[in-house]
Structures are given as C-alpha cells and as structure tokens.
Amino acid sequence: MALLLWEDIAVGSTFDIGPYVVSREEILAFSRQYDPQPFHLDDGRAEESSYGGVIASGWQTGAIAQRLLVTGFLNGAASMGSPGLEALRWRRPVRPGDELRLRLRIVSKEPSPKHHDRGIVDAEHELMNQKNELVMSFRIRIMIARRRSP
Amino acid sequence: MALLLWEDIAVGSTFDIGPYVVSREEILAFSRQYDPQPFHLDDGRAEESSYGGVIASGWQTGAIAQRLLVTGFLNGAASMGSPGLEALRWRRPVRPGDELRLRLRIVSKEPSPKHHDRGIVDAEHELMNQKNELVMSFRIRIMIARRRSP
C-alpha cells in the first residue's frame, strides 16, 4: 500500500480511532516505571486522594493517544516524527477498565520552513472515554514526507 | 518526612535531577506498546530514515522526564496531579544508551482558581543528554496541596 504523503492529507478531515481498553495491570506497570506517585500506584492512598482511586499517569494517557494515532493514521502515512505539541490538557482521570477513543482532526498544514522534503500538519487530538467524556486534548505538529518533483 | 506544601515552594528555585540511562530494550518495549513507527522499532528502516537509527518515542522521553520529576521533586511534595502543559518541543532525538538529566525551574505560582485546598506551580522542564544538549522542553502546571488554616 502506498503511504499517504503531505499533499494527500486534507485540512478538515477527521478520524475516529479505537477503542483502546486500559487495564489495571497496564496502569500499575507504567506508573512503577515512569510515574510512581501514590495516586497512580497505591490503592489505599489513591482512595484517600482527590481522585478516589488509582488513575493512569497523564503521560500514559498521552502514550495511548499516540498508539491510536499510529495504528489508525500515521502508519498509513509517510510520517517523519513531530517537533512538538501545544496546549495539552488532562481533563478527566483515566481509570482501570476505561475504553478510550481518539477523535483526530487535521486543522491546518504548511510546507516545512526548514526542509524541502517534508510538510507539517497540525492535528487536534481529543481522547474520549466510554461515556463519551473528554479525558485529554492537545494539538500536535506532525512532519509528513512530500511528493518528489518529477 | 513532612511533604512540601504549596507555600513552601519558592519561585525561581531550580533542581538538577538524574541521570536516567535509556536502554535499547526499554526503547523497543515502549515503542512496541505505544508508538510502533518504523524509526522507533526497526533498525533497518530507522537507518534509512532522517534519524539514522532507532530513536525513543517522544512520549517515552516525556515519561522519563516525569520519572525524574517524581523521584527528584514531586514525591517530596504534596502533589495532587497536573491539569496540563504548554509548548512541548522535541528538540533532539533520544538514542539507546543516552543519559538524561532534568533541569527543573519553578517559574511562577498562584492559588488554584477552583479549589481552596491547593495551589498551582508552573515548572519549566529542560531535559538534557550526556553531551549537555537540550533534547526536550515544556512548561507544566502542577497542583500542590496548601497548608490548612489553623
């Protein structure tokens, strides 16, 4: 299958990708390695916290959004990575058993200011849970290879 | 040990935390689970890419910064989580064997606009590699419990 190039990606297009089911074991394994705060790891202390129980690390929630982006969109495109993202908000906790979906929207595109071989697309991410509540949002820039001149 | 409260955290204070050594196995394991793009997983295709070899997922780099933040700062404070972050930039690739350090600076603080039991601190993150090159930066808001009125 030919990969989508920068020219092939239309501003305004939207994608609904998922679900990704988040297990308790996955939350605990990630938290032990990368975010060992009590409300990510310890049932007792998490219940006493303002979250009322163990919740996923926000960085794991971001990683899950990336997994959905890659399997649902980027692995069909000539992705060259990302220079960064803006305005990330963790809006609701992610809890064991949650089923997450990614609503992706291409909001703008422009040629790379630095590299002739690629363009940039701005992609708005909204990660939703099984109650259709927004749990995380951000806008990320993605570099996509351009078609070569003939 | 008493945890630091919001009132105890001084604007302008800085912390140098680390190192965290990133192994090839850790990069591949994270990429398989959360970011299965060729330049994070496949030596041959990564060498052909603009990165010239396998690099860590940007979300893994963020998770490593969080690990350093938690073990070097947050687990000594009455952390209540984060509402979000701004202006994340992935400035250089992270490669197998890299040793990362976090330069953390408290840039501002304010009472929570919503909750009387907590305040917000804004923390500038700069993640550096063993050559003292900047690999990632962002500014995150962290909620810290306030001292109760007597």
Domain-located, residue A1: no
Q: Nearest residue of B to residue A75 by CA position?
A: B37
Range of the structural domain that residue A110 is part of: 6-145
Q: What is the mean pLDDT of chain A?
A: 96
Does the beta-carbon distance from A83 to B70 stay under 8 Å? no
Give the nearest partner residue to B34 out of A37, A64, A87, using CB atoms: A64
The CA distance from B41 to B140, in Å, is: 29
B150: in domain: no
Residue A140 lies inside a defined structural domain of this protein: yes
Choose the mutation target among A66, A117, A127 for the interface with B, i.e. most B CBs under 10 Å: A66
**Residue B1 forms part of a structural domain:** no
How many domains are there within chain B?
1
**pTM across the whole model:** 0.97
CB contact under 8 A, A37 and B74: yes
**A31 pLDDT exceeds 90?**
yes
**How would you label A78-97 residue by residue, b for 16+ Cβ within 10 Å and e otherwise?**
bbbbbbbbbebbbebbbbbe
User: Is residue A76 included in any domain, yes or no?
Assistant: yes
In a domain, A150, yes or no: no
What φ, ψ does residue A136 adopt, rounded to 5°? -155, 145
* CATH number of the domain enclosing A110: 3.10.129.10
Residue A62 has pLDDT above 90, yes or no: yes
Low-confidence ranges of chain B (pLDDT < 50): none
ipTM of the modeled complex: 0.96
Residue B37, in any domain of the structure: yes
Residue A95 domain-assigned?
yes
> What amino acid occupies position A39?
F
